[in-house]
Amino acid sequence: MNPSIAQRLNGLNPRQQEAVRYIDGPCLVLAGAGSGKTSVITTKIAYLVQECGMSARKIAAVTFTNKAAREMKERVGLMLRGKEGHGLTVSTFHTLGLNIIRGELKTLGYKPGFSLFDPEDAKALLRDLMNKDAQVDAEQINAVQSQISQWKNDLVLPGDALSFAADDNEHFAARVYEAYVRHLKAYNAVDFDDLILLPVVLLQRDPEALARWQRKIHYMLVDEYQDTNVSQYLLVKLLMAERATFTVVGDDDQSIYAWRGARPENLITLGDDFPRLKVIKLEQNYRSTGTILRSANTLIANNPHVYEKTLWSEMGDGAPIRVIVNRHEEAEAERVASEMFTRRIKERAEWRDFAVLYRGNFQARLLELKLQHYQIPYKLSGGKSFFSRNEVKDTMAYLRLLINPADDNAFLRIVNVPRREIGPGTLEKLANYATERSNSLFAACHEIGLEQQLPTRAVERLGRFTHFIDGVRKRMDQGDAIAAIRDMLRDMDYEAWLYQNASAPTVAERRMANVWMLIDQLEKSLNRDPEDDTSSTETETDGVEAAISRLVLRDILEQQAEEDDSDRVQLLTMHASKGLEFPHVYLMGLEEDLLPHRNAIEVGTVEEERRLAYVGITRARRTLTLTLARQRKAYGELLDCTPSRFLDELPDEDLEWEGRADKEDPEKKQARGKDAIAGLRSLLG
């Protein structure tokens, strides 16, 4: 056996080894948090390549978040040497879908240079479509958008949605859905959910395409399988139908995306669809102390279970779990920040050893202020998206129009940015003219007939704009696309436009820096190792298009600009923390209506909230601190809070309360006071 893989296997327990070595049929690893499921996947990739001689090109490993995919890639990268890993796919489900779409553009009836609409673009299109009949408000648009997304995740196409609509509302949504799909196609665009839906529909209908992809992917590995939705499961099933060679790993207790269409039942369906399925359970946890694990087990025992699993650990009990009750939310944030400040020195920890998890992003705001006050570096996941900034959206619209002139959304966004004196009246006439001829706005600008509809001056202005864009497109096709894009931004003096519109010169400066950062990222994405890319034979424009799609997708998936592994405290929602681990974890806001969330209590989905708390608790390796506030501002008023029911469900003997009058043991309090003094003394040397 290859010595390096033998060594890796030796580091695993017998059950894990069994899961890695089993390659003859479908395999499901079902196990609790921290039991080494992801480790099985990464080792198995190395095993397939180094021991079974499978080409890395034929292996696809998928997971849900970019962060998780990146971590997995890193772990695999440490095991595979040199060319061994070339062509390996380790990605999110959506990136795999994007690659399939790019490989099958023609079969799918798309033109090269398609646009990927982010949820905001999609919303803008829906707003247009819905406003045609009557004025609708934001709430209605959101409702239809999530209904459409649900249909797509459940693989319900517009025709079926129309025939099965249960009431007027659904019927209306189904009609919008039908128009939405038609318009997306006309724009040569796809949305986020299409990245899974389109490949599935294609593979179902087209045996040749199916055969092509089955030849390409021989082995699939899926992490966090409990969170797959119907379409994602079908994608795996279709690709693996013939060979049935795959490994999926999951934990039904960590299913936290039901609200986005995830179907934990997929765990059971798998057994029905693949009767030869081998199920392996792992029970040893290598992540957390005994106390943390006991709490997690006790909490989740309150949920009904399909598969029983008990986790144990050899790590020893470790410190008790602290529960800190604070006067109000500000005191809670202050406490967390000030504690990390002292603990870092006292416990010789690094900033990156700490993570603060919470239910909703809004909880991070106060904490951020406190962290800034203590000058603690932090990284906020899921903050304001880089791509939702106006200057970045403008630039992206230019890029989209350059690669896909049929993208009317992009055209409308920038035809007058910077100002070109092309008014709404002109655009309306142009739109009518284009619709009559089933043409895109950009194409319509080139038509001679337009002169009869519009004043000469307006036609000239439109002509200047399209001529300008055509020039850039030509240069991109001829050679250095990135240089052409940089020159375009300079030629139209986008910077001057930013200065005109900013409240202060520093603001404009920062905005322009964002634009250049976007182009730099695009360049990086374009020049990445072509071996990594499934379509390395593409032309320059195709390459730019692919690079742009990758950037947009990355943003949708993680809503953050840069990858960053510097030493910072991590602030994350519990949802975003899945699969990750940290030595010290703070879980904030353990109050009724927050965790479990008010909506969940109202609609009776507390079990999913309990799983969410389970995910949060099991991220901690050495210490876990739970905090809550007695009062919190919500809906504009100061409300009294009730401690979360989940606190009552944790084993009382493992908790150390602070600030709760009836539980506070005076002796303990005194002892803690002494501890604190001793701690401070040692701190001061």
Please provide the distance, in angstroms rounded to a whole number, between the alpha carbons at the two ends of the chain: 53
**Member of 12, 143, 431, 601 binding ligand ATP (CB under 6 A):** 12
Residue 198-237 contact track with ligand ATP, rule CB under 6 A, x = bound: ----------------------------------------
Specify whether 607 is catalytic.
Answer: no
Tokens 């008023």 found at:
637
CB of 494 to ligand ATP, least distance (A): 44
Q: Interface with Mg ion by CB under 5 A: which range of 115-123, 308-316, 449-457, 579-587?
A: 579-587
Q: Establish whether 170 is a catalytic residue.
A: no
d(Cα 292, Cα 654) in Å, to the nearest integer? Answer: 8
- Give the largest Cα separation in the chain, rounded: 91
For residue 312, state whether it binds ligand ATP (rule: CB under 6 A).
no
617 forms part of the interface with ligand ATP (CB under 6 A): no
- Of the residues 8, 15, 16, 37, only one is catalytic, namely 37
Taking the least distance from each CB to ligand ATP, the nearer of 314 and 421 is: 314
The torsion of the CA quartet 33, 34, 37, 40, rounded to 10 degrees, works out to -170
Nearer to ligand ATP, 266 or 549 (CB): 266
Annotated binding residue at 67?
no
Tell me the closest approach of the beta carbon of residue 77 to ligand ATP, in angstroms. 15
**Residue 596: cis peptide before it, omega within 30 degrees of 0:** yes
Q: Is 314 a catalytic residue?
A: no
Active site residue 531: no
- By a kind-dependent CB cut-off of 5 to 8 A, residue 559 interacts, out of ligand ATP, Mg ion, none, with none
* Window 532-571: contact mask with Mg ion (x via CB under 5 A): ----------------------------------------
Q: Which two tokens stand for residue 447?
A: 């038509």
User: To the nearest whole angstrom, how small is the minimum distance from the Cβ of residue 509 to Mg ion?
Assistant: 42
Number of neighbouring beta carbons within 10 Å of residue 103:
17
> If binding is defined by CB under 6 A, does position 65 make contact with ligand ATP?
no
* 223 tagged catalytic: yes
**Closer Cβ to ligand ATP, 254 or 363, answer by number:** 254
Find the residue with minimal CB distance to Mg ion.
38
**Shortest Å, Cβ 72 to ligand ATP:** 10
- Give, as ranges, the residues between 37 and 66 that touch Mg ion (CB under 5 A): 37-38
Of 479, 492, 476, 490, give the one whose Cα is nearest residue 548: 476
Plot region of 224 (φ>0 → left; ψ -120 to 50 → alpha; else → beta): left
Q: At 582, give phi and psi (nearest 5°).
A: -140, 145
Asked whether the beta carbons of 582 and 340 are under 8 A apart, the reply is no
Picked from Mg ion, ligand ATP, none, the partner binding residue 226 (CB below 5 to 8 A depending on kind) is none
The residue behind tokens 């009949």 is 133
| Least distance CB 254 / ligand ATP (angstroms) | 6
Of the pair 176, 299, the CB lying nearest ligand ATP is at: 299
User: Cβ distance 441 to 412 under 8 Å?
Assistant: yes
Q: Which of 26, 264, 543, 579 binds Mg ion (CB under 5 A)?
A: 579
Q: Cα separation of 162 and 170, whole Å?
A: 8
Distance CA 249, CA 265 (A): 14
209 is in an annotated binding site: no
**Per-position DSSP letters for 281-346, written without gaps between them:** EE-EE-SS-HHHHHHHHHHHTTS--SS----EESS---SPEEEEEEEEHHHHHHHHHHHHHHHHHH
Collect all residues with Cβ–Cβ distance below 8 Å to 364 and sequence separation of at least 6. 356, 358, 380, 383, 571
User: Annotation-wise, does 679 bind a ligand?
Assistant: no
Interface with ligand ATP, residue 634, by CB under 6 A: no
- The site partner of 33 among Mg ion, ligand ATP, none (C-beta below 5 to 8 Å per kind) is ligand ATP
CA distance 329 to 327: 7
Known catalytic membership, residue 619: yes
**Catalytic residue IDs:** 37-38, 223-224, 254, 619
Question: Residues comprising the binding site for ATP?
Answer: 31-38, 287
Enumerate binding residues for Mg ion (CB under 5 A). 37-38, 579
Enumerate binding residues for ligand ATP (CB under 6 A). 11-13, 16, 31, 33-39, 251, 254, 286-287, 579, 581, 618
